[in-house]
Structure 1
């Protein structure tokens, strides 16, 4: 099986070297588009690798991913570097108030809390390469309430030592991974129940042992309580670049192998820079789609849909019927509001609550006896999750059409100038005008 995704045209803009959330330098790309789910835009915070300046990500084709998925991308420069300008995943205390863990939480909250950025706090994600990948895992466990999805790429497993990074597979069992992650989360561990993870690694990586890809996936699977599914999917970006995807139940975990990729961020066609590669798929674009498709925290329930709405006059009683369908759950109530719009001041005359058939959503109700006139019927339904769908309306007349009346003239004036007379005034049609807001 194969999956194809395309690229897009850039339209947003970069802000460079922004001081925000405890970081002195953050590159931020803001797209013109919005996320296909939730409210506003999503946010992907991307962590660099060792000896890798954040400027490299300005040429990593992140703009394509951002525009495709309505995803703001923020690339912070680590404040507390260790070793070869690495994110110091093997040093210090791993909690919400220490070092760059604190800074990442502050960065995420500062950006999602800024109304002008229009970022959905339920769509904040964290990804990273190498040491940034390892730090992604740990920060995602430290603050699972903040990060709805995590995506380490070519990163050593959660809690490994610095010696475990280079050409050495430091074994971490799924049980140990789960124990470490939950201990980092502490009182926030319940939020792991709605977090999702993607792990990625290049098949040609000779820097960080490729054993970590499966090991990381197995660790997240144990944290989330899911099982690996059989088979894999080939992902193509349409330029000949491919990757292999393996999933776990509920799409809570995905494991991606970048075909032919070395120890680099997979930027896709056109990407360039140190530790930024162009010979595999655009990983950020993949993440934008995967997170959008599988986010566990966004309310995807759109509420019931009203169709085939009818209202028939039967001796000044309206027989109202239609269908109320909810694909996600069941309809618990159908509300019908009847408004007399025969006059310039519409007046609500009745509200009827009824139910819909469970097999086909059919509902019907009769109004009380109504006076002759024009009526607006508005219907909306609510499901068993208390989600109300869009209101659907029609207008219908009760009784005969009113007799035609001649237009009325008023405020007639005549102004004479020489041999000419100018006549002015107002002509009004007495037929009521329907106004629906």
Structure 2
């Protein structure tokens, strides 16, 4: 088999995986066309040149068998590429796919659910990582936030890591333990590794990867933004706590009841916070402290309004010196410890508040990862 054929078939496979089916077809056709026997050449007198070796009686039957065998190999390889092309062309159901997976690395093993939108055909798409709260699971969290429904409309992936009960009896992310608050170790490393694994399996836009969470998941989202600002372009924290606000169970309860000083390692990525001002599980002051890690000394612009469903809220917008929005804080008046604007299909939701899912997505897609940050 000649090098040109192998090169063209390899290119056809690459183009298929990239979603360029027209280019892949052209490459296959070029490969098969180049493999065909070339017509005998004519000399200047119009006489036929030497016969191809496989038709030359002096070549003998072995030559014919070699060509026949070569043709079979060509046909088999073409069929293999065609089969792979057909597999990659299989359409995602119109509702998308919600598949189960698992990730293992030196920090441990965690299951996950991944939503693949029906509009995915190999093109680069954003990824939103969603971290559930205590006692929740990916299916519950997806139902309550409606994030899959939003992904269906806008074409982005959603990754829902699942906390293992043997890692925390209430399936809380261990945001309050010092060994789960640093880069390169514990749950932050595991979740970052899981995210990168999904990015390798699918064509995820590396500049548009985001993380959000509720309660303990919100606290872990803040930690991920703090420890992996080179991976996550923006962060959403709902009813959570700032990175480094506790180092053990005792200090966790203290922070949850009255807030605690954050201990971030540097400027956080752009962050949007939602918090009910009647939250008796995680004190609302924690939301203000999360925003402070991103907003710094910026002075907020205030907006007071009422959601379509009835709850009033105060929105604070923080900009950097160049006018870019770097943080938003949504204080939902009268709301408790629940996902604002969420669905009753899931736990810990408040349908009356402004839609946290929609506002987080708006905020996320306004931010792309800045190289060198």
2:278 to 194, 204, 207: 204
1:271, 1:71 → 2: CA distance? 24
Aligned to 2:327: 253
Conserved 8 A contact 2:235-2:364: no
Say whether 1:55 aligns with 2:114: no
TM-fit CA distance, 1:40? 2.6
Aligned partner of residue 113 in structure 1, secondary structure: helix
Q: What does the per-residue CA deviation read over 1:30-75, in whole Å, with 9 as the maximum and x for residues that have no partner?
A: 22347xxxx7321111111112222212312112321344321111
Partner of 2:55 in structure 1? none
Task: Classify the secondary structure of the residue corresponding to 2:294.
Answer: helix
Matches for 1:150-299 after TM superposition, within 5 Å: 150-161=235-246, 162-163=249-250, 165-166=252-253, 168-172=257-261, 177=262, 180-182=263-265, 192=267, 195-222=269-296, 227-232=298-303, 234=305, 236=307, 238-240=308-310, 243-249=313-319, 250-268=324-342, 270-295=343-368, 297=370
Number of corresponding residues: 263
CA contact (8 A) 1:123 1:148 kept: yes
CA distance in 1: counterparts of 2:313 and 2:196, whole angstroms: 33
Query: Hey, what's the Cα distance between the residues in 1 that align with 2:359 and 2:194?
Result: 23
Q: Which runs of 5+ in 2 are unaligned?
A: 1-92
How far apart in 2 are the matches of 1:86 and 1:258? 24
Find the counterpart in structure 2 of residue 13 from structure 1. Answer: 96
In 1, Cα distance between the equivalents of 2:251 and 2:154? 35
Counterpart of 1:73 (choices 152, 158, 162) is 158
Give 1:369's aligned residue: none
Q: Show the 5 A alignment for 1:389-400.
A: none
Matches within 5 A, 1:397-436: none
Q: Is the 8 A contact 1:29 1:74 kept in 2?
A: yes
1:347-371 CA deviation, whole Å, 9 max, x = no partner?
A: xxxxxxxxxxxxxxxxxxxxxxxxx
In 2, the alpha carbon distance for the partners of 1:51 and 1:103 equals 20
Q: CA deviation at 1:146?
A: 0.6
Structure 1, unaligned stretches of length 5 or more? 1-9, 183-188, 299-437
Structure 1 position 267, deviation (Å): 4.6
Question: Residues 291-311 of structure 1: CA distance to partner in whole angstroms, max 9, x if unpaired?
Answer: 11233539xxxxxxxxxxxxx
Distance in 2, Cα, partners of 1:277 & 1:73:
21
Of the three residues 220, 232, 245, the one matched with 1:135 is 220
Residues 138 and 111 from structure 1, CA distance in 2 versus in 1: closer, same or farther, beyond 3 angstroms?
A: same
Q: Identify the residue that residue 193 of structure 2 maps to in structure 1.
A: 106
Cα distance between partner residues in 2 of 1:212 and 1:45: 22
- The CA distance in 1 between the partners of 2:260 and 2:114, in whole Å, is 36
- Cα distance, 1:227 vs structure 2: 0.5
Distance 1:152 1:26, change over 3 A: same
Query: Deviations for 1:369-413, whole angstroms, at most 9, x for unmatched residues?
Result: xxxxxxxxxxxxxxxxxxxxxxxxxxxxxxxxxxxxxxxxxxxxx
The answer as to whether partners of 1:260 and 1:280 remain within 8 angstroms in 2 is no
CA-based RMSD of the aligned residues comes to 2.7
The whole-number CA distance in structure 2 between the counterparts of 1:91 and 1:255 is 26
**Bigger Rg, which one:** 1
Distance, in Å, in 2 between the alignment partners of 1:106 and 1:281 is 33
CA distance in 2, matches of 1:267, 1:40: 29
Q: Secondary structure at the match of 1:43?
A: strand
Q: Does structure 1 retain, via aligned residues, the 8 Å contact 2:309–2:352?
A: no
Q: Given that residues 274 and 340 in structure 2 are in contact (C-alpha distance below 8 angstroms), is that contact kept between their aligned partners in structure 1? A: no
Distance in 1 between residues matched to 2:151 and 2:326, nearest whole Å: 22
Distance 1:219 1:234 in 2: 25
Task: Determine which structure has the larger strand proportion and give its number.
Answer: 1
**Secondary structure of 1:87's partner?**
coil
| Deviation sequence 1:244-302 (CA, Å, 0-9, x none) | 3211012101111234332122353x44222233232332221111111233539xxxx
The answer to whether residue 233 in structure 2 is matched with residue 148 in structure 1 is yes
Secondary structure of 2:302's match? Answer: coil
How far apart are the structure 2 equivalents of 1:144 and 1:168? 28
Q: Does the C-alpha gap of structure 1 residues 258 and 70 become closer, same or farther in structure 2, counting only changes over 3 Å? A: farther
